[in-house]
């Protein structure tokens, strides 16, 4: 048989987070215990989906919500999403919402709809890898803008401004950010919206970690500029601790209708892929409308763990970290001017000490190198044990 080759576009897709999991799985097969600080999934540690949300899912199955749903989402969930967005100052109606199989699918549909060959998208450097992968997949050019580690990884407005061109199709913000945990200041967001408005560029605002914050709260991007066409992304994965259920949405806040055609392109794709999971949509509605008590508890736990990790990082001469204001990530810097290859270092720590991180260059070759991403999701004793080993590693490293 003739060997079929994968397309160049498929080969261009990389996902650093899962790539390093392969050698870790091999070590596990050999019987080693790996301490995993690489997975952005609270359920992989000691967090769980709140009971009332699980009950809603089970109830949906029993009530026969097992057929296809409307392609853009069930009306009662769409109403709940409109309610959430409007309560945060994002002026949308039911026609502006499209529910998908997670933010990641929605992002894919957005880029598929808006990009032609050579179009550019401004993406925070470093950022969640599908932003770069999907822009490339749809023949666009991802352009990373600098986020400033010295300033808590806030977007660098001068750099962003210098990278706006006639081909810029969107500016993306991720707040709080993956992989840095940065919580963006309201003044920074206002400046981004002003820049976008000046050039007539829409903004994509990924707010999937919006309620997972520590000292301060998220300023929803919608509140920082009312005229700029905006696509807000959110879902059930993080705040409601159910990433395996795969539900997310885009809300088009678009008073001038500038995004009508893009929205039409997303709706066409949504119809062609039939619908997102029906029972999971019922559960997401329950999550949005039901008790929110678990959020404060989760944040308290995460903040304790963040502080343990920061203390341990501070005690290792070769490491430093900015203080994350939200999400559950930090992005420590490896203080070694001679370091050439952060992936090799992460794999070396894995091989020698059986602790798994993700290399920083996997989130941005330019602005992520020389770092690694870790989650502070594990229980305190696991974080302590991981850093005992990491401390030992840097002591022994020539
Ligand atoms: C910034 C960001 N957006 C989206 C996602 C994934 O969202 P979903 O599970 O809804 O696809 C992640 C997951 O890590 C993320 O970090």
Give the model confidence (pLDDT) of 314-336 as tens digits.
999 999 999 999 999 999 999 99
The answer to whether residue 300 scores a pLDDT higher than 90 is yes
pLDDT mean over 198-207: 98
The answer to whether residue 17 scores a pLDDT higher than 80 is no
The answer to whether residue 64 scores a pLDDT higher than 90 is yes
Atom of ligand 1 nearest to the CA of 102: 10
Residues 242, 120 share a domain: yes
pLDDT at 193: 98
Atom of ligand 1 nearest to the CA of 106: 11
Atom of ligand 1 nearest to the CA of 248: 10
Cα(103) to centroid of ligand 1, in Å? Answer: 6
Residue 283 domain-assigned? no
Place 253 in a pLDDT band, splitting at 50, 70 and 90: very high
Strands 230-235 and 203-206: parallel
Place 12 in a pLDDT band, splitting at 50, 70 and 90: confident
Distance, in Å, from the CA atom of 39 to the CA atom of 374, rounded to the nearest integer, reads 8
Residues 155, 260 share a domain: yes
Q: What is the rounded average pLDDT for all residues in the chain?
A: 96
Instruction: At 163, list the tokens.
Output: 């990278």
Atom of ligand 1 nearest to the CA of 178: 16
> What is the three-class DSSP state of 231?
strand
Rounded to 10 degrees, what is the CA torsion of 45, 47, 51, 54? Answer: -50
Residues 306, 203 share a domain: no
Residues 306, 265 share a domain: no
CB burial readout 26-63, b (16+ within 10 A) else e? eeeeeeeebbbbbbbbbeebebebbeebeebbeebeee
pLDDT at 177: 98
Residue 284 domain-assigned? no
CA-nearest residue for atom 12, ligand 1, is: 128
CATH number assigned to the domain comprising residue 344: 3.90.1150.10
Cα(21) to centroid of ligand 1, in Å? Answer: 18
Q: Which residue, of 277, 306, 326, is where some domain finishes? A: 277
Residues 214, 355 share a domain: no
User: pLDDT tens-digit profile of 85-97?
Assistant: 999 999 999 999 9
User: pLDDT tens-digit profile of 142-158?
Assistant: 999 999 999 999 999 99
Residues 378, 240 share a domain: no
Atom of ligand 1 nearest to the CA of 238: 9
Residue 207 domain-assigned? yes
pLDDT at 15: 76
Cα(208) to centroid of ligand 1, in Å? Answer: 6
Q: Which residue, of 220, 243, 277, is where some domain finishes? A: 277
Cα(396) to centroid of ligand 1, in Å? Answer: 36
Cα(248) to centroid of ligand 1, in Å? Answer: 9
The answer to whether residue 25 scores a pLDDT higher than 80 is yes
Residues 248, 114 share a domain: yes
The answer to whether residue 1 scores a pLDDT higher than 90 is no
Residue 106 domain-assigned? yes
The answer to whether residue 238 scores a pLDDT higher than 80 is yes
pLDDT at 268: 98
Protein residues whose CB sits closer than 6 Å to any atom of ligand 1: 40, 102-104, 128, 174, 178, 206, 208, 235, 237, 243, 248
Atom of ligand 1 nearest to the CA of 103: 10
Residue 286 domain-assigned? no
Residues 349, 273 share a domain: no
The answer to whether residue 47 scores a pLDDT higher than 90 is yes
pLDDT at 11: 86
pLDDT mean over 120-129: 97
Top mutation candidate among 21, 181, 238 for ligand 1, by most atoms within 8 Å of CB: 238
Residues 79, 21 share a domain: no
Place 198 in a pLDDT band, splitting at 50, 70 and 90: very high
% of the chain residues with pLDDT over 70:
100
Residues 301, 375 share a domain: yes
Residue 362 domain-assigned? yes
Top mutation candidate among 178, 183, 184, 324 for ligand 1, by most atoms within 8 Å of CB: 178
Atom of ligand 1 nearest to the CA of 104: 11
CA-nearest residue for atom 2, ligand 1, is: 128
pLDDT at 339: 92
pLDDT mean over 209-220: 97
Half-sphere exposure of 315 (CA within 13 A, CB side): 13
> What is the three-class DSSP state of 16?
helix
Place 14 in a pLDDT band, splitting at 50, 70 and 90: confident
User: pLDDT tens-digit profile of 267-277?
Assistant: 999 999 999 99
Residue 390 domain-assigned? yes
CA-nearest residue for atom 7, ligand 1, is: 103
pLDDT at 18: 75
CA-nearest residue for atom 4, ligand 1, is: 103
Place 397 in a pLDDT band, splitting at 50, 70 and 90: confident
Residue 379 domain-assigned? yes
pLDDT at 19: 78
Using CA atoms, how far residue 317 sits from 321, 334, 336, in Å, is: 11, 9, 10
Place 107 in a pLDDT band, splitting at 50, 70 and 90: very high
Q: Check residue 99 and give left, alpha or beta (phi > 0: left; psi -120 to 50: alpha).
A: beta
> What is the three-class DSSP state of 207?
coil
Range of the domain at 206: 68-277
Closest CA to 17 of 361, 395, 382: 361
CATH number assigned to the domain comprising residue 110: 3.40.640.10
Residues 344, 209 share a domain: no
Q: Which residue, of 221, 245, 277, is where some domain finishes? A: 277
pLDDT at 155: 98
Residues 190, 86 share a domain: yes
Give the chain's domain count: 2
């Amino acid at each position: 048989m003739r060997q079929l080759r994968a397309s160049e576009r498929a080969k261009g897709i990389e996902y650093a987070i899962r790539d390093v999991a392969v050698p870790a799985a091999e070590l596990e097969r050999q019987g080693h215990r790996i301490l995993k600080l690489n997975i952005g999934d609270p359920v992989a540690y000691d967090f769980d989906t709140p009971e009332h949300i699980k009950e809603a899912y089970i109830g949906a199955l029993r009530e026969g919500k097992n057929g296809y749903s409307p392609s853009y989402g069930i009306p009662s969930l769409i109403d709940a999403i409109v309610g959430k967005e409007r309560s945060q100052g994002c002026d949308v109606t039911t026609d502006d919402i499209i529910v998908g199989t997670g933010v990641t699918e929605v992002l894919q549909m957005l880029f598929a709809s808006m990009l032609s060959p050579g179009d550019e998208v401004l993406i925070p450097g470093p950022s969640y890898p599908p932003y770069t992968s999907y822009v490339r997949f749809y023949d666009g050019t991802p352009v990373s803008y600098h986020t400033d580690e010295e300033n808590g990884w806030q977007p660098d407005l001068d750099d962003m401004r210098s990278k706006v061109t006639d081909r810029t199709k969107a500016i993306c913000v991720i707040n709080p950010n993956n992989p840095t945990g940065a919580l963006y200041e309201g003044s920074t967001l206002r400046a981004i919206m002003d820049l976008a408005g000046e050039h007539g560029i829409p903004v994509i605002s990924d707010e999937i970690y919006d309620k997972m914050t520590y000292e301060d709260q998220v300023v929803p991007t919608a509140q920082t500029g009312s005229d700029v066409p905006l696509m807000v992304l959110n879902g059930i994965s993080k705040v409601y601790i159910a990433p395996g259920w795969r539900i997310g949405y885009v809300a088009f806040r678009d008073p001038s209708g500038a995004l009508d055609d893009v929205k039409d392109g997303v709706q066409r794709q949504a119809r062609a892929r039939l619908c997102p999971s029906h029972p999971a949509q019922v559960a997401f509605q329950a999550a949005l409308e039901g008790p929110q008590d678990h959020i404060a508890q989760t944040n308290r736990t995460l903040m304790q763990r963040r502080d343990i990790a920061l203390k341990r990082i501070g005690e290792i001469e070769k490491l430093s970290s900015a203080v994350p204001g939200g999400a559950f990530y930090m992005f420590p810097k490896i203080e070694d001017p001679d370091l050439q290859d952060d992936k090799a270092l992460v794999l070396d720590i894995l091989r020698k000490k059986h602790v798994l991180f993700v290399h920083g260059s996997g989130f941005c070759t330019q602005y992520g190198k020389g770092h690694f991403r870790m989650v502070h999701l594990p229980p305190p004793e696991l974080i302590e044990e991981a850093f005992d080993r990491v401390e030992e590693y840097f002591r022994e490293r020539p």
